[in-house]
Structure 1
Amino acid sequence: MHAMQYEITLPADYDMAVIRHRVATKGHLLDDYPGLGAKAYLIRERGVDDSPVNQYAPFYLWNTPEGMNSFLWGPGFQGIVDDFGRPEVQHWTGLAFAEGTASGAPARSAVRRRIPIPAGARLGTFATELADETAQLAGRGGAVYAAAAIDPRTWEALLFSAWDHESDAPKGEGEVFQILHVSAPERGFLTRGQQW
C-alpha cells in the first residue's frame, strides 16, 4: 500500500462551492480506477474545525504503484495541474490498514495526523506502535477506515482515519477535513493489519 496526498491551498475568500461542484461532477470518474484502494476527496474551509485555510487535499491509498503512476501521468492529475498548477505530491509507504467499526457507512470526515519520528526512535518499535494505533482508531465508534504510513525521506509518520459523522472524528488529534466523496474500487483488496 502507498499513501499519497497533494494539498491545494486556496485564497481566503475562495468560493469552496467551486471545489464542491468539481467533486460532484468529476469524483465518480475514479470509482472504477485500477489499483486504487481508496481516494477521499478532502476539503478544509477557513474557520471550520479550526482550519486556518481553504484547501482541497485529496488523500489516496493505492494498492499498486502502477495505479498510482498511471494516475499521476494520466489525464486525471493533468486536470489538477491545468486548473491549479502542479502541486507537490506527498507520498508515504504503507504500514497498516484497518477497516473500521462503521466500515459500510459513507465517510463524512477525516483526521490526518503527522508525526515526526524522533532521531533516537527504534524504527521497528515505532512502526509497530503505529500499526497498533491504526487498529485502535479503526475500533472506535464511527470509524470507517484507518491507515498508517511513513515517509522514509523525511522520517515523518502519518495516521489517517475516515469517519461516518463529523462528531465521531477525534478532533484535537490532527487536522480535520470534510469528505465530499470516496472512490474505493479496490478498498476490499487493501492488505489488512501491519504490512511488513
Structure 2
Amino acid sequence: MITAYYAHRLPADYDVALIRERARQRGPLWDGVPELCFKGFLLRERGRFGAVASNYSSLYLWRQDEAFRDFLVSGRYKIVTDSFGRAEIQPGFALDARRGSGRLARFAYKEERSIAMDADLTAAFAAEIEHNRATAEQPGSVAAVVSVDAQNWTFTRILLSENEPDRESAGVAYQILHLARPLLDTLPRAGDR
C-alpha cells in the first residue's frame, strides 16, 4: 500500500468556506475510486485547533502503487494543479494499516518521526507496526496507518479519529471535510494479527 499527502498553504485572507464547498462538491467523486482505501479532504483553519495558518490538504491510502500512478497520469491531479498549483507530494510505503471501531472520522492527525541513523531498522519497523496496532485500538479511532519514507528515513503516523484534538493528541491535527472510503472497510480490524 502507498500513502500520499500534499498541502497547499492558503493566504491569510482566504475564505475557507470555498474549501469547505470544494470538498462538499468534489468529495463524493472519490467515494467509488478503485484501489483507494481512503482519501481525506483536510483543512487546517487559522485560529482553530492550534493552527497558525490555513492550509488545504489531501491524504490518500492506495491499495496498490499502480492506482497511485493512475491518479497521477489520468488527469485527476491536474484538477488540483489548475486550482492551487503543483504541490510536493509526500509518498510513503505503508507498513501497517488498520481500521478501528470508530465510525465517523472528524479529525486526521499526522505525525512524522525521524529514524535515527544508527537505529536497528528491523526493530524500528516492528515497533512502529506495534504502535500503529495499539493506536487503531484506541476509542474513537476510525483508521490508523504508519508508513515509511525510505529516502528521508522517516515514519509517518496517520490517525483518522472521531475525537477532537486535546493535549494528549499526537501530531498535527486537521479537520476532515470529507472522507472518501471506498476500501477502508477491507483493512484488517484493530486487534487482528
Instruction: Return the TM-score normalized by structure 2.
Output: 0.93
Q: Which of 112, 122, 141 lines up with 1:143 in the alignment? A: 141
- Root-mean-square deviation (Å): 1.6
CA–CA separation in structure 2 for the residues paired with 1:56 and 1:4: 14
Q: Which runs of 5+ in 2 are unaligned?
A: none
Task: Report which stretch shifted further, 147-156 or 158-167.
Answer: 158-167
Name the CA distance, whole Å, in 1 between partners of 2:26 and 2:70.
17
Contact 2:40 2:177 in 1 (8 A): yes
Moved more, 30-39 or 159-168: 159-168
2:167 matches 1:166: no
The farther-off stretch of 184-193 and 31-40 is 184-193
Q: Secondary structure at the match of 1:18?
A: helix
For residues 122 and 132 of structure 1, the distance between their equivalents in structure 2, rounded to whole angstroms, comes to: 16
CA-CA distance at 1:72 after TM superposition: 1.4
Q: How many residues are matched?
A: 190
Q: Residues 66 and 177 (structure 1 numbering): CA distance in 2 closer, same or farther, change over 3 Å?
A: same
TM-score, L = length of structure 1? 0.92
Structure 2: distance between partners of 1:75 and 1:33: 14
Q: What is the Cα deviation at residue 127 of structure 1?
A: 0.8
Residue 55 of structure 2 corresponds to which residue in structure 1?
Answer: 55
1:80-134 deviation digits (Å, cap 9, x = unpaired): 00011111111000111111121xx111001110001111111111111111111
The CA deviation string for residues 64-86 of structure 1, in whole angstroms up to 9 with x for no partner, is 11211111122321110001111
Q: Counterpart amino acid of 2:116?
A: P
Matched, 1:180 2:177: yes
Which structure 1 residue ranges, 5 or more long, are not aligned? Answer: none
